[in-house]
Chains A and B, each alone.
Chain A
Amino acid sequence: MSLRCLLSDELSNIAMQVRKLVGTKHPLLDTARGFVYDSRNNLQMRGLVVLLISKAAGPSTAELSFQHNMVSGIYSSQRSLAEITELIHTAFLVHRGIVNIGELKSCDGPLKDMQFGNKMAVLSGDFLLANACTSLAQLQNTKVVELISSAIGDLVQGIYYENSKSSEENCLTDDIGISTWKEQVFLSHSALLAKSCQAAMELAKHSAEIQDMAFQYGKHMSMSHKLHSDLQPFVKESSSDTVAFSLNSAPAVLHQEFLGREAWIKQIKEAQGKGNIMDYKKLQEAIKAGKGVTSAIDLCRCHGSRALAALERFPPSEARAALANIVYAVTRFP
């Protein structure tokens, strides 16, 4: 599956311009690097899931005349939707990399480099989104346009919450419980995939029930994926340097819920020590000593089960097995 528009003139123009950013500190450079080299093979995962679920659901049970344009068990419209999902996901990866000009320090380098980087980031993100909109329109299905548009709205709100957790204040962590955390993560990490899966079913005119099952799979699998990702710093056995982790990641949020906010803030302050530099190892130990990690693992597995339960409604097939394997992968811990 290729992103056709990536071969366009506009993006090669951008690519040439982005080269000027080499040597600067603009985040767009990292994002661009990530497209070429991604160690966790996460490239185009969403698109892949949309294709698999399309295949797993099989041909439309609606009128036989509908069964055209099907290649390898997937309708061309569903293929297009998979691409659209990736376009949107990528657009927001790029838009996440904008910097606030007003917060720049001299160590960030020349102002004009950052302004230039921002310009490129806005333009390329917009370009990808515009392509997604055009492709959506070509699907000639208003319900799908509705679904995906609302998913974009969800994604924006989710990213907005991510941003709000700024390190400006002394307090590096939000006072949120796990249920709020789940709502916000649904928006930023699940909504797009969940609604795309549902939309793929709509394109093949599957029943409302199948659409819902696809949605549930997308939703719960993404939640598991996020939890799995958040848990990595806490479950790895390595004795090498502790990597910094987000204080708003699942284990930390759960830990706070169990411990109470005051005690948690106290632990953070203790870990910050005199120089105000965070001793992540110390904080990690504190979290591991509590119930946060095991809770997060349970939650991850719980979402995993729900994803698998949704899959049960699809007939057995290689595609369905592949989707189940994805769930096993994101719920596996050493």
Chain B
Amino acid sequence: MSHLCSCSKTASDEKYQDPFQLGRKDLKNLYEDIKKELLVSTVELKEMCDYYFDGKGKAFRPMIVVLMARACNIHHNNSREVQASQRSVAIIAEMIHTASLVHDDVIDDANSRRGKMTVNQIWGERKAVLAGDFILSAASLALARIGNTTIISVLTQVIEDLVRGEFLQLGSKENENERFAHYLEKTFKKTASLIANSCKAVSILGCPDPKVHEIAYQYGKNVGIAFQLIDDVLDFTSCADHLGKPAAADLKLGLATGPVLFACRQFPEMNAMIMRRFSKPGDVERARKYVLQSDGVQQTTYLAQRYCHEATREISKLRPSPEREALIQLTEMVLMRDK
């Protein structure tokens, strides 16, 4: 994997650092702080809301947000401090993300996530939906308290996109060409929008230049899409234990993701299965075999690389800093991850 940026390093020779180390200080108490936002009087509802904020998740999104905040602050006035409001954005983004996961699990009737049982599995669907709603309302409250109407608009867009993304997933397209566009649009709305808009939000808070906001947004968008593409690949290549959730989950849900859409070009017999959303017995297994026989996985991975390339190209426009380098490195981590 070659380094794709051609930026010059500063004289002080920024060391190659693990992105997660860089952001560690800011994120140290992230989950504790999120739990503080979840002010609920009932013990059980509190337990449900706190369930995924156990510090065991990847914290990938907050990491990006915090690094982007610093990169933008440095670009603007060489300040390496993360503002309180920027940190709030990281918290809010993670809360919105989690709320949507809780609802997704009810919608998909999922029973495990991150190696443990889902909220709906333990407490039932009724309460799970309420817990998701509560986390969202707490995120919205925290957002309002930042006191910035632009930031409210930017992050509220995410909430809308998440729901629209779910709806996009409900429908399907007959035309092969439309399918891919549909898949990418859904991917943007369900995954990339959150990252893109939270990056944009912290850039607005850290720097007045609209060009910087656009850079931040584009970085987030491209990294987000790449992240989801790799996720879709892993659904085929990884095994359940390692992933922390069942594999071939997308096929079982009737979803045709990147690897499937590419495979379909080589194996047109997959079309019928796609149209009926892999509902006939044996469809899931057959589809899986086709994908693994095809170059679907490679094509999707290559596409993800191109998105990462684009993300790197964008972020390289900012002033050099350890955080900027970390964000570039992060794109490579996205490509290399195995869960």
Interface check B22, CB cutoff 8 A: no
> B125, A152: Cβ atoms under 8 Å?
no
- Specify which chain A residues have a CB less than 8 angstroms from the CB of B136 in the assembled complex: 129, 152
Interface check A140, CB cutoff 8 A: yes
> B134, A123: Cβ atoms under 8 Å?
no
Interface segment among B144-152, B202-210, B316-324: the answer is B144-152
> A137, B149: Cβ atoms under 8 Å?
yes
Interface check B270, CB cutoff 8 A: no
Provided the pairs A145-B140, A156-B133, A159-B130 are in contact, do residues A126 and B163 lie with their beta carbons within 8 angstroms?
yes
Q: Smallest CB-CB separation from B122: which chain A residue? A: A102
> B144, A101: Cβ atoms under 8 Å?
no
> B125, A98: Cβ atoms under 8 Å?
yes
> B129, A95: Cβ atoms under 8 Å?
yes
CA distance A115 to B253 in the complex (A): 13
- Specify which chain B residues have a CB less than 8 angstroms from the CB of A127 in the assembled complex: 163, 167
CA distance A137 to B152 in the complex (A): 6
Q: Which of A129-145 contact B (CB under 8 A)?
A: 129-131, 133-134, 136-138, 140-143, 145
Interface check A317, CB cutoff 8 A: no
Return B202 CB to nearest CB of chain A, in Å: 18
> B141, A126: Cβ atoms under 8 Å?
no
- Specify which chain B residues have a CB less than 8 angstroms from the CB of A138 in the assembled complex: 153
CB < 8 Å: which of A13, A17, A103, A152 contacts B124?
A103
Interface segment among B40-48, B74-82, B178-186, B287-295: the answer is B40-48
> A100, B124: Cβ atoms under 8 Å?
yes
- Specify which chain B residues have a CB less than 8 angstroms from the CB of A157 in the assembled complex: 40-42, 45, 134
The digit string for B148-190, where 1 denotes a CB below 8 A from any CB of A, is 1100110011011011101100110000000000000000000
Interface check A20, CB cutoff 8 A: no
Interface segment among B58-66, B102-110, B220-228: the answer is B102-110
> A130, B162: Cβ atoms under 8 Å?
yes
CA distance A157 to B145 in the complex (A): 21
- Specify which chain A residues have a CB less than 8 angstroms from the CB of B147 in the assembled complex: 142
> A118, B103: Cβ atoms under 8 Å?
no
Q: Smallest CB-CB separation from B153: which chain A residue? A: A137
- Specify which chain B residues have a CB less than 8 angstroms from the CB of A119 in the assembled complex: 106-107
CB < 8 Å: which of B141, B143, B148, B149 contacts A153?
B141
> A130, B170: Cβ atoms under 8 Å?
no
The digit string for A93-129, where 1 denotes a CB below 8 A from any CB of B, is 0010011111100000000000100110111011101
Interface check A149, CB cutoff 8 A: yes
- 8 example contacts (A-B, Cβ-Cβ < 8 A) are as follows A118-B125, A123-B166, A133-B160, A136-B140, A142-B149, A149-B138, A149-B143, A152-B136
> B149, A95: Cβ atoms under 8 Å?
no
Q: With A142-B146, A153-B39 given, can you name 4 additional A-B contacts, CB distance below 8 Å?
A: A119-B106, A126-B166, A146-B141, A164-B42
Q: Which of B24-63 contact A (CB under 8 A)?
A: 39-42, 45
Count of B interface residues, CB-CB < 8 Å: 43
CA distance A110 to B276 in the complex (A): 21
> B144, A163: Cβ atoms under 8 Å?
no
Return A85 CB to nearest CB of chain B, in Å: 15
CA distance A327 to B272 in the complex (A): 61
Interface check B87, CB cutoff 8 A: no
Return A245 CB to nearest CB of chain B, in Å: 22
Interface check B3, CB cutoff 8 A: no
Return B334 CB to nearest CB of chain A, in Å: 27
- Specify which chain A residues have a CB less than 8 angstroms from the CB of B277 in the assembled complex: none
Q: Which of B106, B136, B144 has the most A CB atoms < 10 Å from its CB?
A: B144
Interface check A10, CB cutoff 8 A: yes
CB < 8 Å: which of A99, A137, A153 contacts B138?
A153
Provided the pairs A118-B106, A123-B166, A145-B144 are in contact, do residues A129 and B133 lie with their beta carbons within 8 angstroms?
yes
CB < 8 Å: which of A99, A125, A143, A153 contacts B134?
A153
Name the 4 nearest CB pairs between A and B, nearest first.
A145-B144, A149-B140, A152-B137, A100-B124
> A163, B107: Cβ atoms under 8 Å?
no
> B149, A141: Cβ atoms under 8 Å?
yes
- Specify which chain A residues have a CB less than 8 angstroms from the CB of B130 in the assembled complex: 95, 156, 159-160, 163
> B40, A133: Cβ atoms under 8 Å?
no
Interface check B126, CB cutoff 8 A: yes
Return A120 CB to nearest CB of chain B, in Å: 9
> B141, A122: Cβ atoms under 8 Å?
no
The digit string for A10-54, where 1 denotes a CB below 8 A from any CB of B, is 100100010000000000000000000000000000000000000
- Specify which chain B residues have a CB less than 8 angstroms from the CB of A10 in the assembled complex: 164, 167
Interface check B339, CB cutoff 8 A: no
CA distance A234 to B160 in the complex (A): 45
CA distance A99 to B106 in the complex (A): 11
Q: Smallest CB-CB separation from B106: which chain A residue? A: A122
> B171, A126: Cβ atoms under 8 Å?
no
Interface check B127, CB cutoff 8 A: yes
CA distance A316 to B109 in the complex (A): 55
> B125, A100: Cβ atoms under 8 Å?
yes
- Specify which chain B residues have a CB less than 8 angstroms from the CB of A125 in the assembled complex: 129, 133
